[in-house]
């Protein structure tokens, strides 16, 4: 039997660059179909069993012939399956289960946030953003992403759930990379609804936690902590990490916080932590790092696209290892350890000590 990888390589080589460059357009269209399915709640409607196009159209308020075309596209992606030849009844496949709101591995809110109108409009302003250095989000909405979510609690709830979904999948790798058992109290700065902190506290019965975020970010935190059975071991504190953060913890954890901000803002956050951390405390950053020089390849392309996403949405940036070292040093920390990238998202754990 021929090597499938070799066959793919040979097949790819048969296509000219002009054709290969069109592949991302199909990926974009596929993402939009998943967004439409999430927005319409198709997976939720199929959670109890197959339904016909007519039933789904009635429940979603859509045009049945048009909806059938979406169902065909989802079937082609392996998200749905037709339950019999020509039956016009569709069921959710195993691959489609994470589109359900109540699935333990749900990514519905992630799709609603990442492919929704707020972010899409921001990407539409990429060229003006490149020309001015102003985030595309600000150009599209007339305000920053933090201001927008503060004014739109319904959309903020979707954003918060998307962050919890992503953190849920990242948590096992973070726990494996960091030895939280050596600490007495961990402060999760910008920790949202507490998804990451609940994983940490459940893994270490003697550990106490501090969950810190703005009030809108903390929505749902009490319920998350209570459901995990760790509420009595965790203080929930609302505040602004540009001003000050709670003191008294011996470890300060910031997961994917600094990449949301430019160097000046990131330094302000780090200096707030530096003012609160005790002499023997540890700063733990969970971030991706860019290669020192741009190189071609799937993984590297992914990181560079994430960097552009930060430009478009938040005005932040992804950084190289050396850029993190310089940023930490400027804020009064010495970088102590950079872990290897760990699955599933390629994060690294960066440990630093007060200088």
Question: ω into residue 70 within 30 of 0, thus cis?
Answer: no
| Across 80-84, average pLDDT | 91
Span 327-354, pLDDT tens digits: 999 999 999 999 999 999 999 999 999 9
**Is residue 298 predicted with pLDDT exceeding 70?**
no
Distance CA 313, CA 324 (A): 21
Query: 242 has which bridge partners?
Result: none
DSSP state of 298: H
Output the CA–CA distances (angstroms, integers) from residue 252 to 146, 197, 217, in the order listed. Answer: 22, 11, 18
Q: How high is the pLDDT of residue 194? A: 97
Q: What tokens were used for 76?
A: 């082609």
Reported confidence tier of residue 85, pLDDT bands at 50, 70, 90? confident
Beta strand ranges found along the chain (DSSP E): 51-52, 80-82, 89-92, 185-189, 208-213, 234-238, 251-255, 282-287, 289-290, 319-320, 333-338, 348-354
Q: What domains are there in the chain, each with its CATH number?
A: 19-99 (1.10.10.10), 117-354 (3.40.50.150)
Per cent of the chain over pLDDT 70 is 95
Q: How high is the pLDDT of residue 8? A: 47
**Is residue 299 predicted with pLDDT exceeding 70?**
no
Q: Is 259 a catalytic residue?
A: yes
Question: Which candidate in 166, 199, 204, 259 is catalytic?
Answer: 259
φ/ψ (deg, to 5) at 315: 85, 5
Span 148-199, pLDDT tens digits: 999 999 999 999 999 999 999 999 999 999 999 999 999 999 999 999 999 9
| Across 1-23, average pLDDT | 63
5-14, 203-212, 345-354: least confidently modelled range: 5-14
Q: In the chain, how many H helices and how many E strands?
A: 17, 12
Reported confidence tier of residue 1, pLDDT bands at 50, 70, 90? very low
Mean pLDDT (the chain, rounded): 94
Q: What tokens were used for 251?
A: 């470890």
**Is residue 87 predicted with pLDDT exceeding 90?**
no
Span 226-258, pLDDT tens digits: 999 999 999 999 999 999 999 999 999 999 999
| Across 89-117, average pLDDT | 97
Q: Please, what is the Cα angle at 23 between 17 and 27, to 5 degrees?
A: 165
């Amino acid at each position: 039997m021929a090597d499938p990888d070799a066959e793919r390589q040979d097949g790819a080589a048969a296509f000219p660059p002009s054709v290969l460059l069109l592949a991302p357009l199909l990926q974009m269209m596929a993402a939009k179909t998943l967004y439409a399915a999430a927005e319409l709640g198709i997976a939720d409607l199929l959670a109890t069993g197959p339904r016909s196009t007519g039933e789904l159209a009635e429940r979603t308020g859509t045009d049945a012939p048009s909806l059938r075309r979406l169902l065909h596209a989802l079937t082609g992606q392996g998200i749905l399956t037709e339950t019999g030849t020509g039956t016009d009844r569709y069921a959710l496949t195993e691959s489609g289960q994470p589109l359900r709101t109540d699935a333990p591995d749900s990514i519905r809110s992630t799709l609603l946030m990442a492919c929704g109108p707020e972010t899409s409009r921001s990407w539409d302003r990429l060229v003006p953003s490149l020309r001015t250095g102003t985030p595309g989000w600000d150009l599209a909405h007339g305000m920053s992403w933090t201001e927008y979510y503060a004014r739109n609690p319904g959309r903020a709830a979707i954003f918060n759930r998307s962050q919890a979904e992503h953190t849920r999948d990242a948590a096992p790798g973070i726990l494996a990379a960091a030895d939280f058992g050596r600490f007495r109290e961990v402060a999760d700065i910008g920790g949202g609804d507490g998804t990451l902190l609940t994983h940490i506290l459940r893994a270490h019965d003697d550990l106490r936690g501090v969950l810190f975020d703005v009030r809108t970010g903390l929505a749902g935190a009490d319920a998350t902590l209570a459901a995990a059975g760790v509420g009595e071991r965790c203080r929930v504190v609302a505040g602004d990490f540009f001003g000050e953060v709670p003191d008294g913890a011996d470890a300060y954890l910031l997961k994917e916080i600094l990449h949301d901000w430019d160097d000046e803002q990131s330094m302000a956050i780090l200096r707030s932590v530096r003012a609160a951390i005790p002499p023997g405390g540890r700063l733990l950053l969970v971030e991706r790092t860019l290669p020192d020089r741009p190189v071609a390849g799937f993984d590297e392309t992914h990181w560079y696209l994430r960097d552009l996403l930060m430009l478009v949405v938040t005005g932040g940036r992804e950084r190289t290892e050396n850029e993190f070292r310089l940023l930490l040093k400027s804020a009064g920390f010495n970088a102590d350890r950079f872990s290897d990238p760990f699955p599933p998202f390629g994060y690294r754990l960066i440990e630093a000590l007060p200088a």
